[in-house]
Amino acid sequence: MGLSKSIDKFEALQEGTPKKKSAFVSLSNDKTDEQIKKVDTDSLKNAVSIKDKNFGNPLDSIKRKKIVNPIAEEANDSISILANNKIKKNQFNKIKQYLQFQKEHPEINLNDALDSLQKEKTFFNRFVYNRAKVINSLIDETETQEQFISQLLSYGSASLFVFLPFFTLFLKLFYIRRKYTYIDHLVFVFHTQTIFFILLSVYFLIALFGATPQLWLFISLFLIYLLMAMHKFYKQDYLKTLIKFLMLNFVYLIMGTIGVLLVGLISFVIY
């Protein structure tokens, strides 16, 4: 259902939102994209002109080649960096402009908004303006925040099963000398994750009845169980198990952080 809605939204951005009525807002003080591009082009031309004037004196061809080329390359690099900085600054200003305009005119049609901002009706501009609307909603509306968190948790639960095979791969590498197949490690991972979800369910059930359970307590219980399960399943002494336990959790923490960022980004893009 959520995926179908996301596809419909992207199709609307691709084709453009049909206009119901004109709501054009004049922004006389804003520069158009063409004007910005012209300013950037003029700035680059002036920089190149200054560079050429600095080397107008006649020199011997060999000496001129040795002296001019390194400086010319340095000047070109400086111009390239200047151009990239201008592009990044323009993109940041565009997003900031979208956020401010959408907040001031929340009911305006998407196409009318781009017309008012004097932007082309490309998919990218439609998408960025639409995300600006989402950002403003997440900041100002509690209902939108709850819906987004609910969607984030939904995608997070599904993505966990995608990452489990990668977790299992690292577990196999840490116990590469033990005579266990990949499937054996995978069964162990599924078993421990089941315990994790049971503890998490108990936490939410307690919270549902009005109590305020401590999340760190449930996480600590799971970590203690995981350490004991690794010791019992792989049949190694507690010192080796503890070292591998700490190393594995460090790897899982990095992978989990990357996973959370990816899920958060995907949730934001398709919300």
The pLDDT tens digits of the residues spanning 168-182 come to 998 999 998 888 999
Give me the pLDDT at residue 111, please.
82
How many structural domains are present in the chain? 2
> What mean pLDDT do residues 185-199 have?
92
> What mean pLDDT do residues 115-139 have?
83
Per residue in 81-122, pLDDT (tens digit) is 655 555 656 666 778 888 888 888 888 888 888 888 888 888
User: Is 134 found in the same domain as 61?
Assistant: yes
Contact present, 18 and 53 (Cβ < 8 Å): no
What percentage of the chain has pLDDT greater than the value 90? 20
Question: Which one-letter amino acid corresponds to residue 50?
Answer: I
Give me the pLDDT at residue 105, please.
81
Beta-carbon contacts of 204 under 8 Å, excluding residues fewer than 6 positions away, are none
Domain boundary among 120, 140, 160: 140
Give me the pLDDT at residue 54, please.
46
Query: Residue 132: which domain range?
Result: 23-140
Give me the pLDDT at residue 247, please.
93
Any domain includes 9: no
Q: What is the DSSP letter of 20?
A: S
Long-range contacts of 158-166 (CB under 8 A, 24+ apart): 159/259, 159/262, 159/263, 160/193, 160/259, 163/255, 163/256, 163/259, 164/189, 164/190, 164/193, 166/255
CA distances from 94 to 30, 85, 89, 270 (A): 11, 14, 8, 21
88: its two tokens: 């990044």
Any domain includes 11: no
